Chain A
Amino acid sequence: MPAVTTEQVESRVVEALTSFGADPEQISRESTFEELDIDSLDLVELAQIVEDEYGVVLKGEDMKELQTVGDAVDLIVSRAEA
Chain B
Amino acid sequence: MAERDGCALITGASRGIGAAIARALAGDGWPVGVNYRSDRAGAEAVVAEIERDGGRAVALPGDVADPSVPDRLFEALESHFGTRVLALVNNAGISRDELTPALRDEDWSAVIETDLSAAFRLTRRALGPMLRARRGRIVNIASVAGLRANPGQPNYAAAKAGLIALTKTAAVEVARRGITVNAVAPGLIETEMTAGLGGELLAAVPARRMGTPEEVAACVRFLASDEASYVTGAVLTVDGGLAA
Q: B131 within 8 Å of A by Cβ?
A: yes
Which residues of chain B (144-180) have a CB below 8 Å from chain A?
173-174, 176-177
User: Shortest Cβ distance from A29 into chain B, in angstroms?
Assistant: 24
- The complex places the Cα of A76 from the Cα of B132 at a distance, in Å, of 18
- The complex places the Cα of A7 from the Cα of B30 at a distance, in Å, of 40
- The complex places the Cα of A52 from the Cα of B173 at a distance, in Å, of 21
For chain A, give the interface size range: under 10
Chain B residues, CB < 8 A from A51:
128
Q: Check A45–B173 contact: CB distance below 8 A.
A: no
For the complex, would chain A's binding face be called helix, strand, loop or mixed by DSSP majority?
helix
8 cross-chain CB contacts under 8 A: A41-B177, A45-B128, A45-B131, A48-B129, A48-B131, A48-B132, A49-B132, A52-B132
Chain B residues, CB < 8 A from A41:
131, 173-174, 176-177
Chain A residues, CB < 8 A from B131:
41, 44-45, 48
For the complex, would chain B's binding face be called helix, strand, loop or mixed by DSSP majority?
helix
Which B residues contact A (CB, under 8 angstroms)? 128-129, 131-132, 173-174, 176-177
Q: Check A48–B177 contact: CB distance below 8 A.
A: no
User: Shortest Cβ distance from A58 into chain B, in angstroms?
Assistant: 11
User: Shortest Cβ distance from A39 into chain B, in angstroms?
Assistant: 10
User: Shortest Cβ distance from A21 into chain B, in angstroms?
Assistant: 10
User: Shortest Cβ distance from B77 into chain A, in angstroms?
Assistant: 17
Which residues of chain A (28-55) have a CB below 8 Å from chain B?
41, 44-45, 47-49, 51-52
| Chain A minimum-CB-distance residue to B176 | A41
Could you mark each residue 56-78 of chain A with 1 if its beta carbon is under 8 Å from any beta carbon of chain B, else 0?
00000000000000000000000
| Chain B minimum-CB-distance residue to A16 | B132
- The complex places the Cα of A49 from the Cα of B132 at a distance, in Å, of 8
| Chain A minimum-CB-distance residue to B173 | A41
- The complex places the Cα of A52 from the Cα of B177 at a distance, in Å, of 18
Contacts beyond the supplied A48-B129, A48-B132: 10 A-B pairs with Cβ under 8 Å: A41-B131, A41-B173, A41-B176, A44-B128, A45-B131, A45-B132, A45-B177, A48-B128, A49-B132, A52-B132
